[in-house]
């Protein structure tokens, strides 16, 4: 029996597990480990819903159109992603059953509401979130029934990883600094030699820095004029050396000297200063703790989901689904189907 790993694709929907083309997943950033299941789930096969040979979809001028035609088109177009959602949900459900964990309709509804608020935080109303969800599902070819299935799985995962823990104070302080502390927006040019970096700095006196980034930068950000996300004293997405130089800049338009990082050289230009917001830590602590806690829960759930997928033995019995899954596996390895 061939072991199939259901891959997790990252999109912009939090706390939503998915797999395969058109799937939805949990893009979690924290790396808190989740406990593995006590035993590996039993093999699960995708069920076949092929209609009886005599089943009729419709009649046109008295001539029957068999249901098989619709079935085959649906399976070819949407079958594999939906089958994987069904399989992964069943695997999670069985892992929960081993620990006598169940979820109610109310808990699934709460998972749905929580996911909407995390996915569309800027939306002003429940109606607007519902409308945006409909647009997202349509763009991903995900049905409402599949969405409900995902919410059921996520509700089980939430209970499996647990929510009874404290968020460390230092994590709260770091998050507060990232949200409300002073930040700078810089552009940068990355070069392979010190001489090239010095040339860029000299050209920056009279030339547009964004154009210099497009012409000279060896970093992919050069195509965006070298623009980097806002940087604060606790930003971890850039190297410490670049972060230190960036936050030390005080005048918009200032250009740094070359900064060496791992054999490359960087020139920074200060584009904008974002002054710290007048917010007291005590006033926003509860909100930050809740956000961090949710991030940790999501990370643990995502890790557990992947563990369960890796341990499961999955055999696609339906011939069409089996062919699609084999083609998808080859594509994932960079081969031609």
Of 41, 33, 172, the closest CA to residue 94 belongs to: 41
- Position 169 scores a pLDDT of 93
Of 275, 178, 167, the closest CA to residue 236 belongs to: 178
- Position 208 scores a pLDDT of 95
Residue-wise pLDDT for 159-193, tens only, equals 999 999 999 999 999 889 888 888 999 999 999 99
Residue 45 or residue 83, greater confidence? 83
Q: Find the mean pLDDT for residues 298-305.
A: 94
pLDDT over 80 (residue 31): no
Full set of structural domains in the chain with CATH = 44-167+288-332 (no CATH), 182-274 (3.10.50.40)
**Which of 18-32, 47-61, 71-85 shows the highest mean pLDDT?**
71-85
- Position 20 scores a pLDDT of 39
Could you tell me if 85 and 19 are in contact, meaning their C-beta atoms sit under 8 angstroms apart? yes
Lowest model confidence (mean pLDDT) among 66-70, 153-157, 329-333: 329-333
pLDDT over 60 (residue 102): yes
Task: Report the share of the chain in percent with pLDDT over 90.
Answer: 53
Q: How far is Cα 46 from Cα 90, in angstroms, rounded to an integer? A: 10
Could you tell me if 210 and 250 are in contact, meaning their C-beta atoms sit under 8 angstroms apart? no
Residue-wise pLDDT for 277-292, tens only, equals 888 999 999 999 999 9
- Position 52 scores a pLDDT of 63
- Position 50 scores a pLDDT of 59
Confidence of residue 6 (pLDDT cuts 50, 70, 90): very low
Show Cβ contacts of residue 132 under 8 Å, excluding neighbours closer than 6 positions: 119, 120, 123
- Position 71 scores a pLDDT of 86
- Average pLDDT taken over every residue of the chain: 83
Residue-wise pLDDT for 109-120, tens only, equals 999 999 998 888
Scored b (16 or more CB within 10 A) or e, 97-124 reads eeeebebeeebbeebbebbbebbbeebe
- Position 51 scores a pLDDT of 60
Q: How many residues does the chain have?
A: 337
Question: SS3 of 230, please?
Answer: coil
């Amino acid at each position: 029996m061939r072991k199939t790993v259901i891959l997790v694709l990252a999109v912009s929907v939090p706390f939503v597990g998915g797999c395969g083309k058109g799937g939805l997943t949990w893009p979690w950033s924290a790396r808190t480990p989740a406990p593995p299941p006590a035993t590996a789930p039993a093999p699960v096969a995708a069920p076949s819903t092929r209609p009886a040979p005599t089943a009729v979809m419709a009649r046109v001028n008295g001539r029957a159109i068999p249901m098989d035609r619709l079935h085959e088109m649906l399976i070819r177009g949407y079958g594999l992603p939906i089958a994987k959602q069904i399989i992964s949900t069943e695997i999670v459900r069985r892992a929960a059953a081993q620990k006598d964990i169940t979820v109610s309709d109310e808990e699934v509804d709460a998972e749905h509401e929580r996911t909407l608020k995390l996915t569309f935080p800027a939306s002003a109303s429940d109606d607007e979130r519902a409308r945006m969800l409909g647009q997202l599902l349509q763009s991903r070819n995900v049905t409402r029934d599949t969405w409900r299935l995902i919410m059921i799985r996520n509700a089980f995962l939430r209970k499996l990883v647990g929510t009874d823990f404290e968020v460390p104070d230092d994590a709260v302080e770091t998050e507060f600094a990232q949200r409300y502390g002073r930040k700078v927006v810089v552009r940068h040019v990355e070069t392979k030699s010190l001489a090239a970096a010095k040339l860029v700095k000299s050209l920056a006196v009279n030339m547009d820095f964004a154009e210099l980034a497009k012409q000279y930068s060896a970093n992919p950000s050069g195509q965006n004029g070298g623009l980097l996300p806002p940087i604060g004293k606790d930003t971890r997405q850039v190297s410490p050396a670049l972060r230190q130089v960036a936050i030390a800049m005080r005048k918009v338009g200032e250009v740094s000297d070359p900064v060496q990082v791992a054999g490359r050289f960087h020139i920074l230009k200060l584009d904008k200063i974002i002054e710290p917001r007048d917010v007291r830590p005590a006033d926003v602590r509860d909100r930050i703790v809740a956000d961090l806690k949710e991030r940790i829960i999501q990370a643990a759930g995502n890790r557990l989901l992947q563990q369960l997928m890796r341990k499961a033995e999955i055999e696609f019995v339906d011939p069409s689904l089996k062919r699609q899954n084999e083609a998808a596996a080859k594509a994932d390895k960079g081969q031609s189907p």
